[in-house]
Amino acid sequence: MLHRLAVAALILALPMLASAAPRSQGLTPVEERPPAPDFNLEDMEGEFHQLSEFRGQPVIINFWATWCPPCREEMPSMQRAWERLREEGVAMLAINVGETPDTVFQFTANYPVEFLLLFDLDSAVTEKWPVRGLPSTFVVDPEGRIVYQAIGGREWDDPELLQPVLDLRSE
């Protein structure tokens, strides 16, 4: 009888154990590797940047907005990731969707970041990328193709998450 109760209790506990397990986070490979749409966007200083400037190195491109809670949540880990990646030949940039540099300037007082922030004021660039929600992040390989994507926030300083990006340098 005790054995039966133990089995039943274990089975009853399985869904709770599953929900308590740490949630996986990762990058999804984009099998078809489409060419990443180029852009020409302004940064905080008013200088324009094209994606093609970064050809030859992996690029992490994050689409975000200040009013998006998971975007705000992942910003500090993106900064920590950038502190490692900038020494490793990987570029990182974040494209703000629909807000002004003034708004983002105020935001960065509380969320200081050193990677490149670009402005897609009319959302036209965002519409050309396969963005379905914010935040969405894409990894572009040195040949300018989208090779990974992540929808929703991540802990970007997780070494397991960054390793596939670093591996792109030697492909």
Partner 1 sequence: MRFVLAFTLLVTAGVAAEPDQRVNPETGLAGWEWQDDAVSITFNQRLPDQSRAYFQGRGFRSEEAEQIAQSCVFQVILRNHADASAPLQLDLADWHVVPSGGEPGPLRLEPGWQVEWEQRGVAQGARIAFRWSLFPTVQTLQPGDWNMGMITIGLPPGESFDLEAVWRQGREPRRVRFEGMRCAPDREI
By the criterion CB under 8 A, which residues form the site for partner 1? 4, 7-8, 11-12, 14-15, 18-19, 23-28, 65, 67-70, 97-99, 122-123, 132-134, 149-153
CB of 31 to partner 1, least distance (A): 11
**What residues pair up with 61 in beta bridges, in sequence order?**
93, 138
Nearer residue to partner 1 within complex by CB, 21 or 109: 21
CB of 141 to partner 1, least distance (A): 18
Q: Please state the three-class secondary structure of 43-111 as a single string.
A: ECCCCEEEHHHHCCCCEEEEEECCCCHHHHHHHHHHHHHHHHHCCCCCEEEEEEECCCHHHHHHHHHHC
> Which strand (E) or helix (H) includes residue 149?
strand 146-151
CB of 50 to partner 1, least distance (A): 22
CB of 8 to partner 1, least distance (A): 4
Nearer residue to partner 1 within complex by CB, 40 or 100: 100
User: Cα–Cα distance between 147 and 34 in angstroms, integer?
Assistant: 8
Nearer residue to partner 1 within complex by CB, 91 or 131: 131
User: Cα–Cα distance between 86 and 6 in angstroms, integer?
Assistant: 53
Nearer residue to partner 1 within complex by CB, 99 or 169: 99
| Amino acid, res. 41 | L
